[in-house]
Structure 1
Amino acid sequence: MSDESPEHGWGCEYVPDAAHVTDGLPPEGLAEVARIIRGLLDLAELRMEAGNDYDEQNPRKLRSISTDKLILWYQKFEHRQRIYVVRVTWFG
């Protein structure tokens, strides 16, 4: 399932699917996930990295980004221009 998939440019997908990754999140959590994804896509378009967990030796490693209420784990694939969200943990 694709969250953001423009014809050209960066897009986001949930692995295995959005229902599995975001299961049980309240509306506030879903909104926070959408905000984070939009920010990751904007940074990707600018060829920038979010945070300092980028590893040049292992560019496809699982990365995370957190707020005060959640942690989102993702992978970024430059050649596919895709961000894959694989897990979200909600603390709210």
Structure 2
Amino acid sequence: MSDWTWDYNPSAEYLTDGLPPGVIAEVERLATELAALGADSVRVGRPLDREGGLREFDILNGRGFISFLAVPRHECVYVCNITFYG
């Protein structure tokens, strides 16, 4: 287990406004899992050919995705965007 945390960037209100509660719960579950990976979270999701930078990870069997930024210096995973197709 790592000491990493996760947070919404810019804010939870901005990113989750209008999303169903189940989608928010899934995003928060995945963010917790990514934070548990610690420094390895810079290699999860797309793009597959490099690590670091803004990454994407599918949610709910391809019905959407999250964009996140893993910042080793802050020991934090920031959820930057949530796209849900419904």
Instruction: Give the TM-score taking structure 2 as reference length.
Output: 0.79
- The structure in which a higher percent of residues are helix is 2
| 4+ aligned runs moved over 6 Å, structure 1 | none
State the number of aligned residues.
80
The aligned residue for residue 75 of structure 2 is 81
Match status 1:69 vs 2:27: no
Gapped regions of structure 1 (runs ≥ 5): 1-7
Q: How far apart, CA to CA, are the structure 2 residues paired with 1:52 and 1:91?
A: 18
The aligned residue for residue 45 of structure 2 is 51
Instruction: Give the TM-score taking structure 1 as reference length.
Output: 0.74
**SS at 2:79 equivalent:** strand
Q: How far apart, CA to CA, are the structure 2 residues paired with 1:76 and 1:20?
A: 20
Q: How far apart, CA to CA, are the structure 2 residues paired with 1:73 and 1:65?
A: 7
